[in-house]
Chains A and B, each alone.
Chain A
């Protein structure tokens, strides 16, 4: 889903080795589901192939040489676009939103603005579903309710996160 973009975001913060990226990813984003090393290197390989990262210094060591990955302008543009654009308003977005918020804080981007934009997108969808409820059948209303309750839960999460941004900023930038 957002693993390649998350790794790119971590590289925008500072160039790093695959091991560093996996460690930071697991610390902030994996939530008990560590990213396999194989996926880290396969992703970095694809990002290099697509010109989003380049390989910088290679450090010899015990075992295979350690490659240091550096984000390119194209990669940085992709991260910026991804962070700036709100996610489509569908339920169960917390994982994506959480990743965006943490990365935005790490990169000193306006996380609150992103959350406000996301709030607007959620409310627009809630407005559409509310109109469907008002004009549709009972079945329409019940289906709309399901979406509305989940979107409302996302909005609660957005509100609480906005209130905690300063504290979260300190944690992720420590």
Chain B
């Protein structure tokens, strides 16, 4: 059974083609790494899969629904309710505390503040962040901030977690801790993960790796 799928997707930015017939699918609970050199189209593919970008051609399917033909407000709801995101630089809201940042997807989804914070707090113990709940992002190290971002991405138990270079701004050891936590947490929840990375060591955490080159997806024979 396929949970998420891009079928023959093409997308250009002006005259520049970014994707040229990219096809990729992910099963429930699967961790898929999208690799490729800079400018290969790997982040563009992630953005199409996540409903952030709409392809010029091809189809995007999630859980039996075609999402590239949905209007923006439905895709926005889908992203909020079914998808989680982790980006390279955490992108925490600086005015909020760490626990408010983690609770944010729940608050945006209509969960009342006390309940949202109650669900957010266990993530701090789980990700080795106990005691940092009230800190703001400027008071966190890069690794701590990225773990908070990871908690925020997973707190609403999304169907898919999209991670775009989640360790790109971290040193090797910290990056590996983040990947280890990402994989463990996603497996515990049964969350599908699509991770974009140019680092083989990060991709090695995934169940399956594909390479995007010239806007197309090449499967790697790794099993």
Say if the beta carbon of B185 comes within 8 Å of chain A: no
CB-based closest 3 A-B pairs = A120-B220, A126-B204, A124-B222
The answer for the CA separation of A127 and B205 in the assembled complex, in Å, is 6
Q: Using Cβ atoms and an 8 Å threshold, which residues of chain B touch A119?
A: 211, 220
- 28 CB < 8 A contacts A-B: A116-B211, A116-B218, A116-B220, A119-B211, A120-B209, A120-B220, A120-B221, A121-B222, A122-B200, A123-B200, A123-B203, A123-B204, A123-B209, A124-B223, A126-B200, A126-B203, A127-B204, A127-B205, A127-B222, A130-B201, A130-B205, A133-B176, A134-B180, A148-B204, A151-B200, A152-B199, A162-B213, A163-B37
A48 proximal to B (CB < 8 A)? no
Decide: B222 and A152 in contact? CB cutoff 8 A. no
Which residues of B pack against A, CB within 8 Å?
37, 176, 180, 183, 199-201, 203-206, 209, 211, 213, 218, 220-223
A87: Cβ under 8 A from any B Cβ: no
Contact partners of A126 in chain B: CB under 8 A: 200-201, 203-204
Residues of A in contact with B, size category: 20 to 34
Query: Is there a chain B Cβ closer than 8 Å to A117's Cβ?
Result: yes
Give the docked Cα–Cα distance between A124 and B222 (Å): 5
Residues of B within 8 A of A116 (CB): 211, 218, 220
Number of A-B contacts (CB under 8 A): 46
Contacts of A148 in B (CB 8 A): 201, 204
CB within 8 Å of B: which residues of A? 116-117, 119-124, 126-127, 129-130, 133-134, 148, 151-152, 155, 159, 162-163
Chain A residues within 8 Å of B213, by CB: 162
- Measured CB to CB, the nearest residue on chain A to B176 is A133
The closest CB in chain B to the CB of A116 belongs to B218
Min distance, Cβ A119 to any Cβ of chain B, angstroms: 6
For residue B35, give the distance in angstroms from its CB to the closest CB of chain A: 9
